[in-house]
Amino acid sequence: MPSFDLIVIGAGPGGYVCAIRAAQLGLKVACVEGRETLGGTCLNVGCIPSKAMLHASHMLHETHENFEKMGLMGARPTVDWAKMQGYKQDVVNGNTKGIEFLFKKNKVTWLKGWASIPAPGQVKVGDDVHEAKHIVIATGSEPASLPGVTVDEKTVVTSTGALALPTIPKSMVVIGAGVIGLELGSVYARLGTAVTVVEYLDAITPGMDGEVAKNLQRILGKQGLKFVMGAAVQGVDVAKGAASVRYKLRKTEADAAIEAETVLVATGRKPYTTGLGLEALGVEMEPRGQIRINDHWATNIPGIHAIGDAVTGPMLAHKAEDEGMAVAEVIAGKHGHVNYGVIPGVIYTTPEVASVGQTEEQLKAEGRAYKVGKFPFMGNARAKAVFQAEGFVKMLACKETDRILGCHIIGPGAGDLIHEICVAMEFGASAQDVALTCHAHPTYSEAVREAALACGDGAIHA
Ligand code: NAI
């Protein structure tokens, strides 16, 4: 029976990072993956292909919206859908091959196939049973189903189907104004699809700072996305390749329906643990289907750990990566740590949205004394030069100590800008610490500094 110090099940961002870190720490490591390629949902059918599509469609949008303003004249590009899909696939292939290379470089054995755990200390892949001193479950998540809605990945699709439609649909209904709905809704709206987003709640992107969510909805509305808010989807009927989405408006209880060529179901994801044999092993689960772990990512069964979307917490690739590294450290006898208070969240629309720490709503609910430093990108020279002056940086700091409690950005490069604040928060910095740090001119990052200045004696360019 082949034996390893650690077998990681799943080669998504949680699993492959865990395997690499454990190998770097001197363990003999294998990683089981049943897909043809490594990288899990994120690299194959999630973050990476969607970012390629967001980039391509953003470029097209720029040619239509802003090229003439800069004196760039001439025929506007049209879309060769097959080529765009090819570009997306090249991006995916480059990344998944990259992980294969990293596995070889770090001497991580890829066990190809779907794993189960017949007994503690054993992992079965196909007909082979491998021995493992430690097992890490990093099997990720899958789209959650919605009652009355049958996904066929043709007319009614999840994000996976939406990334590989055979043609650009004329119309699309997106169910759910969360991250997936808004990102992929943006892609198709820019490509010319009439996109309507139907959302159960009265605000988009639940959990996001309210002011940011409101502004994002307004900006996306200007870009052509239509929103039906406070609408509970009851079901989707498909006939002759077209769909009708039935919903009930929560306030009035009125029933309504919208027709569309394609329906994207983006109402959340659920942990994927099917086929592992966890029930037979007696692994304790959370009521919502996640694997129960302690603060060292250990399940109740000795030697079995779990991380990423399969456990509680935000379903984010980078959260899984952090847990992957941390659990590898713990297994190697070192100190693994994840600061769950400083995990950024990013939505890759245009403008991007990024946040870290607490929202104003959370601080209010806690009754915490706080101050707000806000700075609009309208006062940022670089953002104005590139037609991206919509949005703002909002910093939240403790009223007494000035310590940064949260930061919420809607604007150009928000997903990169937020990390300055992540580092600041890791070091327990005050808003003044950021305000006193020299920021290069002209950069978007000056807006972050100005928001920090606004927490004190005031921003300069507001
Ligand atoms: P989500 O949880 O972000 O949003 C789902 C939305 O659907 C919510 O606004 C919810 O109120 C709405 N909804 C639920 N039932 C409904 C109904 N019956 N009718 C109408 N609306 C309904 O889930 P999403 O967008 O599917 O994303 C899944 C996970 O993947 C999330 O945890 C997300 O963070 C992650 N993800 C992260 C990305 C990023 O970091 N950029 C990109 C894509 C996904």
Query: 167-179: per-residue pLDDT in tens?
Result: 999 999 999 999 9
What pLDDT band is residue 145 in, cutting at 50, 70 and 90? Answer: confident
Percent residues over pLDDT 70 in the chain: 100
pLDDT at res. 205: 97
Does 349 fall in a domain? yes
369: domain range? 345-454
Does 461 fall in a domain? no
Token pair of 252 as six digits: 């009035």
Query: 291-329: per-residue pLDDT in tens?
Result: 999 999 999 999 999 999 999 999 999 999 999 999 999
Q: Are residues 231 and 279 in the same domain?
A: no
Q: Are residues 172 and 252 in the same domain?
A: yes
Query: Is 296 in the active site?
Result: no
The answer on pLDDT for 224 being more than 80 is yes
Span 423-445, average pLDDT: 98
Q: Are residues 137 and 175 in the same domain?
A: no
Q: Are residues 263 and 275 in the same domain?
A: no
The answer on pLDDT for 211 being more than 90 is yes
Q: Are residues 131 and 12 in the same domain?
A: yes
Does 174 fall in a domain? yes
Residue 85's CATH number:
3.50.50.60
Q: Are residues 73 and 113 in the same domain?
A: yes
Does 340 fall in a domain? no
Ligand 1 centroid distance, CA of 38 (Å): 24
Q: Are residues 321 and 353 in the same domain?
A: no
Does 136 fall in a domain? yes
The last residue of one of the domains, among 299, 331, 363, is 331
Q: Are residues 363 and 401 in the same domain?
A: yes
Q: Are residues 323 and 351 in the same domain?
A: no
The answer on pLDDT for 182 being more than 90 is yes
pLDDT at res. 49: 98
The answer on pLDDT for 241 being more than 90 is no
Candidate list 296, 337, 441, 461, residue with the active-site label: 441
The last residue of one of the domains, among 267, 295, 313, is 267
Does 460 fall in a domain? no
Does 409 fall in a domain? yes
Q: Mean pLDDT, the chain, as a whole number?
A: 97
The total of structural domains in the chain comes to: 3
Ligand 1 centroid distance, CA of 269 (Å): 7
Q: Are residues 312 and 374 in the same domain?
A: no
Query: 339-380: per-residue pLDDT in tens?
Result: 999 999 999 999 999 999 999 999 999 999 999 999 999 999
Q: Are residues 301 and 353 in the same domain?
A: no
Q: Name all residues whose Cβ lies below 6 A of ligand 1.
A: 146, 175-181, 183, 198-201, 206, 232-233, 266-269, 315-316, 346-348
Does 208 fall in a domain? yes
Residue 396's CATH number:
3.30.390.30
pLDDT at res. 101: 98
Span 209-226, average pLDDT: 97
Q: Are residues 253 and 285 in the same domain?
A: no
The answer on pLDDT for 1 being more than 80 is no
Percent residues over pLDDT 90 in the chain: 98
Name the residue with the closest Cα to ligand 1, atom 41: 347
